[in-house]
Amino acid sequence: MAIHKIAATLKAAAVCASFVILASVASYAQVTVTATIDRTQIGLNEDFTLSVEVSGSNAGKPQLPEMENFAQLAGTSSSQSIQIINGRMSSSHTYHYTFIAIAAGKFEIGPVEVEAGGQVYRSQPIRIEIAQSAAGGQPSAPGAGPAPQADPNVKAESSIFLRAEVDRKQVYQNQPVIVTFKIYTARNIRNYGNAKIPSFTGFWVEDYPMPRQPRTYQQVINGQRFLVAEVKRTALFPQSAGKNTIESMSLECEVQAQSRRRSRDLFDNFFDDPFFAPMERVAIASRPVEIEVLPLPAAGKPANFSGVVGDYSITASVDRTTAKANEAITLKVRIAGQGNIKTLPPPQIDLPLDFEVYDPKVSQQVDTEDAQISGSKTWEYVLVPRYAGTHEIKPIALHYFNPRAKQYAVASTKPIALTIEPGSAEYANAAFGGASKEDVKLLGQDIRFIA
């Protein structure tokens, strides 16, 4: 009986062992390796991404084929996906390899190998073509940024930093400098804040509206791929000549802590996922940027120049060219163009001596969609002619300095002829007797007195 019991026990153990072996073989048998590339036609010195998806558990890291003769590895990243369906868990790990094309010709990316359970799994090879120039007409990868750059200010170990980038470093007085503050990161950022904005001493400031979600793109610097996010853009108008400095901006970022573990355990990999990874706060700051501000040239400066810099046009119009004495006429003067719209001075208007003019209603529109600040500013005047006759509003001139042409220019309106007919004496006496200009305001097209 004892011998039969021992035999039964050994048989049960063997059956259990066979189930374990079959389960282990089945888990490894589910491993698949798929390699894809973002595009197959690439320009020389352009970057491209090879993605390797490994499905199944207990699989090792991919072993890349030899590619040194036509591509240089610039950076890597990875992501993991885990699904639990009907109590069964499946996982896949995707590895992204960014390369820079260094040789022209037709090449083959060989199979990517992954080892699992003593077996080697391979992907299918991929054929690519690298052209001498950028691949014309080929769609770029989503989120692809500018071509790789070399920057001595970016250290190899830098994984996150803040940079202030300007469109020019030498300008004339009151010519705008567009400064954009950008976060460069090779790590996952969950949040950023506590920003300390520069005071911009010596500049007139015009901020660009920024979206709630910053615009992002990818850029390779010194062989390292960064995600770039634009967090602030400002137009700065220097108010005096000389050396002006754009001070440092600083902020704090909540980023994924860098892991030093190298484990093949499934649950270690699970908690290395960005969703579960520990976070840390990192303070970053931009470098100050020095701007050289040139004085406006003395040669050719108009006598009545008011300091306007940019490129402008000016127009003038009236609501009617025929009216009776003591009736209101609306004059609109509009200046439009590129420059510091908000600081445009009121136009100098030469009116007939018998015209009363009241303080204007001023409106402005600033456009920040383009790289430059542009828009328009409008002055709406109420004119009251006192006597009948033929009158003229003389041309209104705007003198400005054009920094692109590096010379002074003038824009002017056309003269406006007005015919004033005799009005009612009673209306004139009742309407304006003892009233000052401050007692009148514009309501639509009417003159109404404030009680």
CATH number at residue 256: 2.60.40
Residues of the chain falling short of pLDDT 70: 1-29, 81-90, 133-158, 258-277, 370, 425-451
User: Is residue 141 one of the residues assigned to a domain?
Assistant: no
In a domain? residue 366: yes
| Domain annotation covers residue 300 | no
pLDDT digits (tens, 9 = 90+) for 346-378: 999 999 999 999 999 999 999 987 677 899 999
Task: Give the pLDDT score at 307.
Answer: 95
Q: Which residues are bridge partners to 54 per DSSP?
A: 33, 93
The CATH number of the domain holding residue 125 is 2.60.40.740
Residue 152 lies inside a defined structural domain of this protein: no
> Is position 65 within any domain?
yes
Distance CA 104, CA 44 (A): 6
Distance in angstroms (rounded) separating the CA atoms of residues 182 and 253: 13
Both 430 and 325 in one domain: the answer is: yes
Say if 179 falls within a structural domain. Answer: yes
Among 86, 112, 131, the domain boundary falls at 131
Structural contact between residues 140 and 46, judged by C-beta atoms closer than 8 angstroms: no
The token pair that represents 114 in the structure block = 């992954």
Among the candidates 294, 328, 354, a domain finishes at 294
Specify whether 210 is located in the same domain as 341: no
Q: Are residues 115 and 193 in the same domain?
A: no
Provide the residue range defining the domain that includes 244.
Answer: 160-294
Q: Do 80 and 200 fall within a single domain?
A: no
For residue 14, the model assigns a pLDDT of 44
* Beta carbons within 10 angstroms of residue 74's beta carbon: 19
Are both 242 and 341 inside the same structural domain? no
Of 251, 270, 294, the residue that ends a domain is 294
CA 237, CA 218: separation in Å to the nearest integer? 30
Which tens digit of pLDDT belongs to each residue from 415-430?
999 999 998 754 443 3
Asked if residue 315 and residue 353 are part of one domain, the reply reads yes
DSSP for residue 309: B
pLDDT value of residue 194: 81
pLDDT value at residue 446: 46
In terms of domains, do 287 and 317 share one?
Answer: no
- For the CA atoms of 138, 140, 145, 148, the dihedral, rounded to the nearest 10 degrees, stands at -60
Amino acid letter for position 159: S
CA separation for the pair 189, 172 (Å, rounded): 39
pLDDT of residue 222: 72
Q: Give the DSSP per-residue string, 213-278.
A: S--EEEEEETTEEEEEEEEEEEEEEE-SSEEEEE---EEEEEEEPPP------HHHHHHTSTTTS-
User: Pick from 157, 368, 190, 373: which is nearest to 278 by CA?
Assistant: 190
205 inside domain: yes
Helix (H) and strand (E) counts in the chain: 3, 32
Both tokens of 259, joined, read 């892991």
Task: Please state, in angstroms and rounded to a whole number, the distance separating the CA atoms of residues 198 and 286.
Answer: 10
Buried b (16+ CB within 10 A) or exposed e, 344-370: beebebebbeebeebebeeeeeeebee
CA 109 distance to own-chain centroid: 35
Q: Are residues 195 and 114 in the same domain?
A: no
Q: Based on the fold, state whether residues 199 and 84 are members of the same structural domain.
A: no
Do residue 102 and residue 56 come from a single domain?
yes
Ranges assigned E (strand) in 350-413: 355-357, 361-367, 374-385, 389-393, 397-402, 407-412
| Within-domain flag for 223 | yes
Total domain count, the chain: 3
CA distances from 306 to 201, 276, 302, 338, 360 (A): 22, 61, 9, 16, 19
Degrees (nearest 5) of the Cα angle 244, 229, 179?
15
Distance CA 14, CA 206 (A): 80
Q: Environment class of residue 50 by beta-carbon count within 10 Å: exposed (0-12), middle (13-18) or buried (19+)?
A: buried
First-to-last alpha carbon distance for the chain, in angstroms, is 122
> Do 357 and 437 share a domain, yes or no?
yes
**pLDDT score for 366:** 93
Clarify whether residues 282 and 323 are in a common domain. Answer: no
The Cβ of residue 99 has, within 10 Å, a number of other Cβ atoms equal to: 22
